[in-house]
């Protein structure tokens, strides 16, 4: 159903474009379905697959997984909670202010922002520190502060340059738990929150 809606949505702009350019003929252009089947000038072309926005794409992926799983308990599914989590990720990634200071064996990140961003920082930093503590010998300790949170990260000596290069947001991306975490949120669980 999502793919059918996407196909319809992709045809609407083409129809509007044809109507908005009087005197310009689109007769030589194949329709989207024909292009997908390789009927334009004998060449095979691919259909677009990107939905246009990262959070939307993440939600779409989760919805497709849930719809494809006959064991999905729809009474517990909460896509809105996933949307709110993705909004937190966006706020922290794009709107937080980060100060990094060296500490013995690592870096202390002080991450702050305006009230909505501040709350997202706290949720994200504390959850990530709890999830990733001791992974690959990296030690995490996060705490709420006025305006946001601190996150101390201590690493083996061989990883110190890597830690400094990653910075706060790079550290936040480490670990492939995010995708599973998103699925758990969508299913109605509250992992490490």
- Residue 183 predicted with pLDDT over 60: yes
Task: Report pTM.
Answer: 0.70
Residue range 145-162, pLDDT digits in tens: 999 999 999 999 999 999
Residues 171-188: what's their mean pLDDT? 84
DSSP characters for 28-92? TSPPHHHHHTT-BTTB--PPP---SSHHHHHHHHHHHHHHH-TT--TTT--HHHHHHHHHHHHHH
Residue range 44-80, pLDDT digits in tens: 788 887 778 999 999 999 999 999 999 999 999 999 9
Q: How confident is the model at residue 39 (pLDDT cuts 50, 70, 90)?
A: very low
Phi, psi at residue 42, to the nearest 5°? 75, 0
Query: Domains of the chain: which residue ranges?
Result: 2-49, 79-186
- Helix, strand, coil shares of the chain as percentages rounded to 5? 55, 15, 30
Residues 154-179: what's their mean pLDDT? 92
């Amino acid at each position: 159903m999502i793919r059918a809606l996407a196909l319809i949505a992709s045809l609407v702009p083409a129809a509007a474009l044809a109507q908005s350019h009087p005197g310009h003929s689109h007769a030589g252009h194949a329709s989207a379905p024909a292009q997908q089947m390789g009927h334009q000038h004998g060449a095979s072309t691919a259909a677009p697959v990107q939905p246009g926005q990262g959070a939307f794409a993440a939600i779409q992926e989760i919805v497709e997984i849930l719809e494809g799983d006959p064991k999905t308990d729809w009474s517990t599914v909460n896509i809105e909670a996933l949307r709110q989590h993705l909004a937190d990720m966006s706020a922290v990634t794009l709107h937080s202010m980060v100060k990094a200071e060296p500490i013995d064996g690592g870096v202390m990140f002080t991450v702050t922002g305006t009230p909505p961003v501040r709350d997202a920082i706290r949720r994200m930093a504390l959850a990530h520190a709890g999830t990733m503590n001791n992974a690959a010998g990296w030690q995490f300790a996060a705490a709420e502060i006025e305006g946001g949170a601190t996150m101390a990260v201590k690493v083996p000596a061989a990883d110190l340059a890597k830690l400094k290069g990653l910075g706060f947001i790079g550290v936040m991306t480490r670990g492939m738990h995010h995708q599973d975490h998103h699925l758990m949120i969508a299913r109605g669980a509250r992992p490490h929150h």
